[in-house]
A and B are shown apart, each in its own frame.
Chain A
Amino acid sequence: MTEATITLNVSRFRPAEDVEPATRAYSVPMHRDWVVLDALNHIKDHIDGSLSFRWSCRMGVCGSCGMMVNGEPKLTCSVFLRDYYPGEIRVEPLVNFPVLRDLVVDISAFLDKLQKVQPWIVRDEEKPAADGEYLQTPDQLDRYKGFTACINCMLCYSACPIFGLETDFIGPAALALAHRYNEDSRDKGAAQRWNVINDHHGAWQCTFVGECSVACPKHVDPAAAIQRLKVDTAKRWMRSVLLPWGRK
């Protein structure tokens, strides 16, 4: 009996050689327990070793293997071949990012943006470790916990047409992380993040398409985070205008 196969149409681009990406079809064994990443690894190991793509953990944690699968931003380690079989699968690099090679995109602009929002706990003054941990109530934890699951996979950036049109937009993941730390009772960095969040390319550039939350594989809901940042920045602005002692 011949082994069942499935066709992957993979976007290929060799820098300094190709002008445009071209699609190449590969026939791979159809295994019910294979994900798209397994099929890509099969191509690299057995058919064409020059195929380039990022991957690491294979379990939806590292956020490396984000690609467009049949036009949708997906973690390729989380989508099964069986869900597309007997149809063909189109694999392309994440849209809205420049392509480095094949399925690898340039993420350096994203890393710059991530750094700008200071996605870490900012303290006015650190207390000595001997004084113990910073305690939180369950309610304080609940305010930000939902936004801690971001794995920086950038699927939300590929789903966001605003980022596609305005590449300087800070974007969903970075803004969701800014909100996550602003809402953390241990953090004192909201005033430092204010300029980035309230900037023209910050939260106000979002027009609430909402697709970032649909694409997020970790159910972070960046769209909600950004709209709440808008409410927060509006309140801060009102305070700074109306109250002489209003803190920015």
Chain B
Amino acid sequence: MMLNRPDPSRLHPQPLPRTWWLRRRSYFLFLVREFTSLFIAAYLVLLMAGLYQLGSGHEAYSEWQGRMAEPGWILLHGVILVFAVFHSVTWFQTTSIVIELKAGGVKLPRAMFTALNVAAWLAVSAFIVILFQSR
């Protein structure tokens, strides 16, 4: 099919401004969701650094633990936890859009799918806490 195309010189382009993410609350929350993944990545780096210290011997790991107990590091972990919870909850919300669950031929509501995911996440987290506390 051949389209009758307009002369580009007669068109007025509407490029998106750099501040597009301030146009709507949903755009802003989308960027926050993306931004929080940086904190998850930062925590993974910290975790790997901790594992490296663990592999370097008891003394190195004790020193690492001592450093992590300093107020600045505890504050950083607190900030990371807040962003990680936000990222995880929004992740489960978006997952419910991607995956469609059916029970007895009926589609489960997305909110229920999100709730099941969050419940499973909390159960696994509780299991890990109990496992480490019992040692």
Contacts and interface: CB of A to CB of B under 8 A. Distances in A.
Interface stretch (B3-11, B46-54, B59-67, B120-128): B3-11
B14 A97 contact: yes
A203 to B, nearest CB: 12
A164 B20 contact: yes
A108 B9 CA distance: 15
Given A100-B6, A111-B3, A223-B97, A161 B27 contact: yes
B21 interface: yes
B12 interface: yes
Contact of B3 (A13, A18, A108, A161): A108
A95 interface: yes
Contacts, number: 72
Nearest to B3: A108
A246 interface: no
Nearest to B8: A98
A227 B100 CA distance: 11
Interface in A59-75: 71
A231 B10 contact: no
Nearest to A226: B98
B97 A224 contact: yes
A93 B30 CA distance: 25
B100 to A, nearest CB: 8
Interface residues of A, number: 36
Interface stretch (A28-36, A46-54, A205-213): A205-213
Q: Looking at chain B, what size class is its interface with the partner chain?
A: 20 to 34
A99 B12 contact: yes
Nearest to B26: A211
A214 B5 CA distance: 30
B72 interface: no
A96 B16 contact: yes
A228 B50 CA distance: 37
Contacts of B21: 161
A164 B17 CA distance: 9
Nearest to B33: A208
A99 B11 contact: yes
Interface string B12-39: 1111100011011011001000100000
B1 interface: yes
27 contacts: A15-B11, A21-B12, A93-B14, A96-B14, A97-B14, A98-B11, A98-B14, A99-B11, A99-B13, A100-B11, A106-B6, A108-B6, A161-B16, A161-B20, A161-B27, A164-B16, A164-B20, A207-B30, A209-B26, A209-B30, A210-B26, A211-B24, A213-B97, A214-B26, A223-B97, A224-B98, A227-B97
Interface of B: 1, 3, 5-6, 8-16, 20-21, 23-24, 26-27, 30, 34, 94, 97-98, 100
* A-B complex: 6 closest residue pairs judged by Cβ atoms: A164-B16, A15-B10, A98-B11, A227-B98, A99-B12, A209-B30
Given A99-B13, A164-B16, 16 more contacts: A95-B14, A96-B16, A97-B14, A98-B8, A100-B11, A108-B3, A111-B3, A112-B3, A161-B20, A207-B30, A207-B34, A208-B30, A208-B94, A210-B30, A211-B24, A224-B97
